[in-house]
Amino acid sequence: MSLIDVENLTLQFKTDEGLITAVDNVSFSIAPGEVMGLVGESGSGKSVTAKSLMKLNPGNAVYAPESRITLHLDNGPVDVMSLKRPRDMEVVRGGSVSMIFQEPMASFAPAMTIGSQMVEQLLIHTDMSKKQARELSIEMLDRVGISDASTRFGQYAFEMSGGMRQRAMIAMALSTKPKLLIADEPTTALDVTIQAQVIDLMKDLVTDFGMGIIFITHDLGVVAQTADKVAVMYLGKMIEQGPVREVIRNPYHPYTQGLIDALPQLDDLDKPLMPVPGDIPSPLERPEGCVFHTRCGKIIGDVCRTVAPGWSDTGENHRTACHLCHEGQSA
Amino acid sequence: MSTENLIETKDLSVGFPVGGKIFNKSVLKAVNDVSLSIPRGSFFGVVGESGSGKTTFGRALLNAAPITGGSAHYEDGDVSYDLGKLTGSELKEYRRRAQLIFQDPYAALSPRMTVRDIIAEPLEVVGLCNSREEVDERVREIANLCRLNLEHLRRFPHAFSGGQRQRISIARALVSKPRFVVADESVAALDVSIQADILNLLKSLQDEMGLTYLFISHDLSVVAHTCDHVAVMYLGQIMESAPTRQLFRSPRHPYTKALFSAIPSLDPDDHGKAQKLEGEIPSPTNRPTGCQFHTRCPFAIDLCKREEPRMETCEAEHSVTCHRWRELQLAD
Ligand SMILES: Nc1ncnc2c1ncn2[C@@H]1O[C@H](COP(=O)(O)OP(=O)(O)OP(=O)(O)O)[C@@H](O)[C@H]1O
Ligand SMILES: Nc1ncnc2c1ncn2[C@@H]1O[C@H](COP(=O)(O)OP(=O)(O)O)[C@@H](O)[C@H]1O
Ligand code: SF4
Ligand code: SF4
Ligand SMILES: [Mg+2]
Ligand SMILES: [Mg+2]
């Protein structure tokens, strides 16, 4: 059984300039012990999707009525959309789902030491003693590669470098051993060496506790090394999803192919870097038909400009939303 | 100084005073005895973990961090500057010739200035143009090279995407027609597609304007694709320096090798061959004895703890700072 099911998630933001569609009819599931990579250009809706799972989007967010998010916990399923009061949210935010945010400074209270925040969180969400909580916190800090962890335990967030703060946040998010971890660009600001350590740590937790992870990143190398499956987003739409090997080796959607071509690869230094041409359109001016048609090098014709492509099966558990696949051609 | 080089440093050090009390005062050496030559017209990369001193080294070459030891020279045509001793009109001229592209385009651009004013500011600071028309002309020219159109110039930076903002900061850095440009993590915050676009732009601008870049990055794949020469920094020192292809094909320093093996492969079945680097970079206020890398080096021997290795030349243009470079077989 899956750990979380997201069905037809659609979310708009009310702004002065009008309604912004940030997420448009997105569906996916994650099983226990499964890691899903969520990739796409900045502004494609990755963070908003992730925050929806804990209903953490700001007050101007409007969820469409057909949006459905079901979290399967030990005590039965939880309908996340129906949770309104902060007290109800405790089931979701209370340690069984953890999120690592893109902005690490925001997740630590400035006036408390890193250690006391970690301990406090463990005391609320587990039945550990203070001593156990302290020991576990120091161990977690050590495991994310923070040297001299017992000293760092007593420091404030502002006393740490950016990379160290990011790791402390990862340690805190992992210490409650959540069922589902949502990690929003957790390693983008880290050195490759520390990134490799953090990835190993996450993999251990997946094996040891069957934790499920949504891993948001724009680094396809990181996805290749961590994820079981990948979902690609563009302008709020999910445009391709499937097993990691399939999607990276045989991408069907022209946008996914573009992302892979844009990546600097070490085994061929002569290969020119090929950006996806053009800029991502403003979410206020979403293109009709296929949202990618303004930048697509393989556009077929009017059908792309007027009709939004539905899903086509492009392999086992692999599907793509592009008219090229509809016509039975490989893109 | 060789005429091929735009910049040469000799035992360059940058120290910052740390500790408040008079008796505990010590010096944090962020850059420690760096000797490097940056050839004119090169795309020169500097890599290393966070805190290794890359930004500080770049700032020293821009005359924006105090040179506390050794020297740095700039030589171009008929001008020759000792960067530690610049004053008055020389300093002003060097500020025009050497520019920085910021690490974070979001933080660097003032939200209340129009794009035109942001780009024009350096011209006004160095007093390069005599009239507003001349400034406008120059701004339009550089904006065009950076693929920004006239309509963009009237707008404010918040209206732009990450890639466009990075093009604005590039235009701003290049408007004074510099010779030497430090690009500090200029693509780190961008996603792959925009990153590829900006890297291609930097390359084409280099050809058109005859620029020499110091390209600071912690992304080794990006460096491999853009730079002709790469220096690897650790705790303020250069551990290895070589032409890009040679460095990636046959790294000689255990630290370089460790960095390479940490790069996540795009092949899901390739999990990296060599052992991963444990722990993190020590604090520069509490440096290890001997080789700076010995606390994390899988090949460390007793000698490494006692004696500091010197930088040696192992091949043309390829230098390495390791006692054991002759015997270690690091290439795959
Ligand atoms: N103004 C300063 N005063 C005191 N210490 C400083 C100062 N600037 C830098 N340092 C220290 O010098 C060392 C090198 O810093 P630097 O910013 O050059 O690193 P970096 O290699 O650019 O790192 P990153 O990849 O995180 O940008 C660090 O230990 C840093 O804390
Ligand atoms: N609070 C908000 N109000 C209005 N628009 C928002 C808000 N948060 C995000 N958006 C918009 O939603 C879209 C998706 O944003 P986001 O999920 O942060 O993208 P990503 O994480 O993929 O970079 C963007 O167009 C962004 O500007
Ligand atoms: S539907 Fe048409 S425009 Fe969209 S990605 Fe496919 S070919 Fe390109
Ligand atoms: S000198 Fe010794 S410790 Fe330093 S890198 Fe070489 S082998 Fe390793
Ligand atoms: Mg985001
Ligand atoms: Mg830096």
Q: How far is the CA of B180 from the centre of ligand 2 (A)?
A: 37
Tell me whether residue A34 is in a domain: no
* pTM across the whole model: 0.85
Residues B105 and B162: their CA atoms lie apart, in Å, by 7
- Residue-wise pLDDT for A191-203, tens only, equals 777 788 778 878 8
Nearest ligand, CA A236: 2
The domain spanning residue B190 has which CATH number? Answer: 3.40.50.300
Lowest mean pLDDT of A204-218, A280-294, B97-111, B189-203, name the range: B97-111
Is the CB of B300 inside a 6 Å radius of any atom of ligand 4? yes
- For residues B10 and B138, membership in a common domain is answered with yes
Lowest mean pLDDT of A49-58, B6-15, B71-80, name the range: A49-58
Which atom of ligand 3 is nearest the CA belonging to A325? 6
Angle, to 10 degrees, between the axis of helix A162-175 and the axis of helix A192-209? Answer: 0
Q: Which residue of B has its CA nearest to A143?
A: B279
Does A331 have pLDDT greater than 60? no
- For residues B214 and B193, membership in a common domain is answered with yes
- For residues B69 and B209, membership in a common domain is answered with yes
Contact present, A50 and A182 (Cβ < 8 Å): yes
Angle, to 10 degrees, between the axis of helix B162-174 and the axis of helix B192-209? Answer: 20
- For residues B185 and B325, membership in a common domain is answered with no
Helices (H) and strands (E) in chain B, counts: 12, 13
**What secondary structure does DSSP assign to B216-228, as a single string?**
E-S-HHHHHHH-S
- Residue-wise pLDDT for B294-320, tens only, equals 999 999 999 999 999 999 999 999 999
| Residue A275: domain span | 249-326
**What secondary structure does DSSP assign to A107-168, as a single string?**
GS-TTSBHHHHHHHHHHHHS---HHHHHHHHHHHHHHTT-SSHHHHTTSBGGGS-HHHHHHH
Tell me whether residue B11 is in a domain: yes
State the pLDDT at residue A210.
86
Tell me whether residue A90 is in a domain: no
- For residues B280 and B216, membership in a common domain is answered with no
Q: What are phi and psi of A89, to 5 degrees?
A: -65, -20
State the pLDDT at residue B307.
96
Last residue of a domain, one of B205, B234, B263: B234
- Residue-wise pLDDT for B229-281, tens only, equals 999 999 999 999 999 999 999 999 999 999 988 888 888 888 765 457 777 78
Q: How far is the CA of B190 from the centre of ligand 2 (A)?
A: 16
Does A66 have pLDDT greater than 70? yes
- For residues B230 and B327, membership in a common domain is answered with no
Q: Which residues contact B243 (CB under 8 A, 6 or more apart)?
A: B228, B229, B230, B317, B318
State the pLDDT at residue A330.
47
Last residue of a domain, one of B193, B212, B234: B234
| Residue B179: domain span | 5-234
State the pLDDT at residue B20.
59
State the pLDDT at residue A94.
64
State the pLDDT at residue B242.
97
Span A232-246, average pLDDT: 96
Q: How many domains does chain A have?
A: 1
Q: How many domains does chain B have?
A: 2
- For residues B175 and B290, membership in a common domain is answered with no
Report strand pairing: A212-216 vs A35-39: parallel
Chain B nearest CA to A22, separation (Å): 16
A254 DSSP assignment: H
- Residue-wise pLDDT for B18-44, tens only, equals 765 666 677 888 999 999 999 999 999
Tell me whether residue A2 is in a domain: no
- Say which residue the tokens 């500090």 belong to: B184
The closest alpha carbon to B181, from B206, B207, B163, B157, belongs to: B206
Please provide the average confidence, as pLDDT, over all residues in chain A: 88
Give the residue, B295 or A15, on which the prediction is more confident. Answer: B295
Tell me whether residue B239 is in a domain: no
Lowest mean pLDDT of A142-151, B94-103, B186-195, name the range: B186-195
Contact present, A305 and B189 (Cβ < 8 Å): no
The residue type at B10 = K
Does B125 have pLDDT greater than 70? yes
Helix boundaries (H) for chain B: 54-61, 88-97, 105-108, 115-126, 132-145, 150-153, 162-174, 192-209, 220-226, 244-249, 254-261, 302-306
Tokens of B236: 């303020």
Span B5-24, average pLDDT: 84
Residues A292 and A299: their CA atoms lie apart, in Å, by 9
Tell me whether residue A241 is in a domain: no
- For residues B183 and B295, membership in a common domain is answered with no
- For residues B93 and B214, membership in a common domain is answered with yes
Which residue has its alpha carbon closest to ligand 1 atom 30? B51
State the pLDDT at residue B164.
82
- For residues B160 and B99, membership in a common domain is answered with yes
Tell me whether residue B240 is in a domain: no
- For residues B197 and B95, membership in a common domain is answered with yes
Tell me whether residue A77 is in a domain: no
